Amino acid sequence: MENNLDEQIRYDRASKRVRNIKGFYMHLMAYILVNSFLLLLHYANLAEGESFFTFGAFSTAFLGIWPFASWYRYIWACSLFR
């Protein structure tokens, strides 16, 4: 009985880690897709002679807090550094 309980606890921990890792990669994929779309819109709406490489084009990179927040949650939720 105790062996089954230990096995169930290990399974639950592993399941939680997998869910957290999957969540991180889903957030990362959404971040990349949204920012790629925003850059594409910026490129499509450039005026004649306007440079693509401006602060406005790459200001979306500052939204990198989104995947970082998911990564931070994964690290602490899985108790890797506790």
Q: 24-72, pLDDT tens digit by residue? A: 788 778 888 888 888 888 888 888 888 878 777 777 666 666 666 666 6
Classify each residue of 44-64 as buried b or exposed e, where b means 16 or more C-beta atoms within 10 Å of its C-beta.
Answer: eeeeeeeeeeeeebeebeeee
More confident position, 21 or 11: 11
Give the closest residue to 31 by CA, choosing from 59, 64, 75: 64
pLDDT above 50 (res 20): yes
CA-CA-CA-CA torsion sign (48, 49, 51, 56): negative
Q: Residue 74: count other Cβ atoms within 10 Å of its Cβ.
A: 20
Q: pTM of the predicted model, to two decimals?
A: 0.65
pLDDT above 80 (res 75): no
Quickly state the pLDDT bin for 82 (edges 50, 70, 90): very low
**Gap between the Cα atoms of 30 and 52, Å rounded:** 23
